[in-house]
Amino acid sequence: MGARRSSAPVLDREQRRSAHLVARDLRKAYDGAPVVDGLSLTAVAGERLAIIGDNGAGKSTLLRLLAGVLEPDGGSVACTTGRTLVEQELDAPRDATVATLLDETLTRSRAALAELDAAGAALASTADGAGLADAPADVLTASGPADVPADALAVADPAARYAAALALAEELDAWDARRRLRDDLQLFDAGFPETTPLRHLSPGQRYRLRLACALHDPEGAILLDEPSNHLDDAALDRLAERINGHAGIAVLVTHDRWLLDAVATAMLDLDPTAEGGGALFSGSFQEFRRERARRMRRWRDRYAASLEAEERLEWQLDVARAAAPGTWKPGKGASMHGRASRAGNTVGALQRRLDQLKLERPPVPPQPLKFELHDVADEGDDEAAEPLLVAQGLRLADRLAMDPQQRIELPPGGRLVVRGPNGAGKTTLLELLAGRLRPDGGALAVRGGALVDLLAQEDRLDQTLTPLDALRAADPLLADLEDEELLVLVGETGLLREADLERPIGTLSVGQRRRVDLARLVLGQPSLLLLDEPTNHLSVTLVDDLTAALLETQAAVVLVTHDRTLLRAVADWPQLRIARA
């Protein structure tokens, strides 16, 4: 339900240090379209491998294949250790509560104590078990599920079984597991009441909860999908500390440039290369970015040089053909046969060289997808001094309590960063400013004619619609456009690939759905952009493009983000700090 764990036996720290994760020629397709195609990799203990790539490149699919929760169409995955996977979305029964997830997390510690209890009883019942009477009471008493680790049950000798059970309980620190789990929850700002239904938690709260549970007692290989989403600074520091301190393997999919800088020791780039497949880079994230840029330049230079060489040969071929029999006439007294033979030989040689050049031509290098905020609605000079939005002391029961004197006043092109701890109501504030919620107190006024739009953490797109139909449904001005006209507008955003435009949104990845929502925002050309964690689920390249666009757009912007790199880029923007209600 929360973090998915493999059924491999629990390994001690030294065993995790020798862990290996090997994938060979992995292949996975959906609806006949390959997502992972012939990929191989090896990760060893101590390695922190970051999977990088554009939205839809197959990052999450690859992570699930490596975790063993998704069967490949071809190839194999082998792992010498247990695996823990934390995915972006929590699939839980409707009646599941926080306690449900905590109980699941403590299963192994409880099973270890139950096995220790059973092993102690078995040892005590033997003829030489009398010495156990002096054993500590907490060793001989345990409660929990009867299911015990298979490797412990396999020990036939009672003394050896007891020793193995005791070693496992000590490795897990099973007696103190619940208290440590409570501490972990607090460290990740996920200390919610245990009776709280999971469906009542926000996306960020659910993710922090299962991330804390997964890192409480990780297997030898931990696989994390966008682990920095929804974390504040303190929790992000704790995450980096946990990943760097893990004795086994860490594999993570993340857009977070700060986290990549802090933990990654190798990068698997799933974006196309001149060689046609993903590329593995060893070293830091900054080294990866420099090397990737060099490789991309070389690829584009090779491709351009190949086209130029083909163009020269085609010109030479045209000249030679013009001189060939039927179009060329020999001069008076010349040998027509000899000259014609030489002309024919030249044509043949040039054609063979041209054919060979085309065979050796590198694949077309991809152009980076761009996020460009087009010119927004012109506010007019006569209205330039009038604010787009004014808000003061906004309140909403149990969700937001701005200080009565706190005031937001945004002119056209204005900027504001909203800061505060998780649970302070930053998302609620944006929903109030967007008109999606009504405040219980305070004042809010939006200038007539000003268009305000919100990019929320979770989209409201109809999963059964295609991106084109969803964009039409979201904006009446797009509804009457012909497909060709809308395709041109969508193409100009650089956010969506044509191949994805006719697929139901429910079949797209989280990152691809994020792009659809961004396209909706861009095409609407709002006067005021309200952005709630806008870098979540986006590729590293697109996050860079988004950052540049936000710095240049004429629209007013209110930004909520935990992205440290983005915060550094907007460090000169005004800030509003709110506290928990």
Nearest one of 451, 453, 450, 391 to 425, comparing CA atoms: 391
Superfamily for domain range 381-577: P-loop containing nucleotide triphosphate hydrolases (3.40.50.300)
78 or 143: which carries more pLDDT confidence? 78
- Lowest mean pLDDT: which of 151-165, 206-220, 451-465, 512-526? 151-165
Is pLDDT at 378 greater than 60 in this prediction?
no
For the residues 368-396, what does the mean pLDDT come to? 68
Average pLDDT over residues 335-359: 74
Average pLDDT over residues 557-570: 93
**Region 176-183 average pLDDT:** 92
- Point out the least confidently predicted range of 67-81, 154-168, 405-419: 154-168
Mean local confidence (pLDDT), 23-27: 93
Answer whether residue 10 shows pLDDT above 60.
no
Over residues 285-306, the pLDDT tens digits come to: 888 888 888 888 898 899 899 9
pLDDT of residue 140: 35
- Compute the distance between CA of residue 564 and CA of residue 256 in angstroms, rounded to an integer: 8
Q: Does the reported pTM lie above 0.85?
A: no
Residues 6+ away with beta carbon under 8 Å from 182: 191
pLDDT at residue number 567:
94
pLDDT band at 575 (very low <50, low <70, confident <90, very high): very high
Backbone angles phi, psi at 523, to 5 degrees: -70, -25
User: Partners of 577 in the beta sheet?
Assistant: 419
On the CB side of 398, CA atoms within 13 Å amount to 0
Calculate mean pLDDT across residues 355-367: 84
* Confidence at residue 362, expressed as pLDDT on a 0 to 100 scale: 86
Greater model confidence, 515 or 32: 515
pLDDT at 490 over 70: yes
| Residue 17 scores a pLDDT above 70 | no
Pick the CATH number of 7-95+220-271 from 3.40.50.300, 3.40.50.720, 3.40.720.10, 3.50.50.60: 3.40.50.300
Report the pLDDT value the prediction gives residue 517, as an integer from 0 to 100: 92
pLDDT score, position 372: 59
The pLDDT value recorded for residue 368 is: 58
H or E stretch at 119: helix 107-124
DSSP-derived 3-state class of residue 47: coil
Lowest-confidence pick of 81-85, 173-177, 347-351 = 347-351
CA-based nearest residue to 233, from 89, 422, 423: 422
- Residue 114, Ramachandran bin (φ over 0: left; ψ between -120 and 50: alpha; else beta): alpha
Mean pLDDT of 258-274: 89
Share of the chain above pLDDT 70, in %: 85
What are residue 445's DSSP bridge partners? 390
Residue 151 — very low, low, confident or very high, per pLDDT cuts 50/70/90? very low
Would you state the torsion angle of the CA atoms of residues 501, 506, 507, 510, taken in this order, to the nearest 10 degrees? 90
Residue with tokens 């010495």: 131
Determine the 3-state secondary structure of 77 from DSSP.
strand
**CATH topology of 7-95+220-271 equal to that of 381-577?**
yes
Among 86-90, 375-379, 394-398, 535-539, the range scoring the smallest mean pLDDT is 375-379
The candidate with the shortest Cα–Cα distance to 218, out of 415, 31, 12, 459, is 12
Average pLDDT of the residues in 507-518: 88
**Residue ranges of domains in the chain:** 7-95+220-271, 104-177, 288-360, 381-577
Q: What is the mean pLDDT of the chain?
A: 83
Could you tell me the pLDDT band of residue 154, with boundaries at 50, 70 and 90? very low
Mean pLDDT computed over 273-280: 74
Pairing state between β 528-532 and 556-560: parallel
Q: In this predicted structure, which of 20-24, 98-102, 344-348, 398-402 has the lowest mean pLDDT?
A: 344-348
Select, from the ranges 270-284, 449-463, 558-572, the one with the highest average predicted confidence (pLDDT).
558-572
Q: Sheet of 74-79: strands edge to edge?
A: 33-44, 20-30, 74-79
Phi, psi angle pair for 528, to nearest 5°? -135, 120
pLDDT of residue 204: 78
Average pLDDT over residues 293-320: 88
Residue 240 has pLDDT above 90, yes or no: yes
- What does DSSP say about strands 266-269 and 279-282: parallel, antiparallel, or unpaired? antiparallel
pLDDT tens track for 415-432 = 999 998 888 899 999 999
CB distance 521 to 455 below 8 Å: yes
Determine the 3-state secondary structure of 102 from DSSP: helix
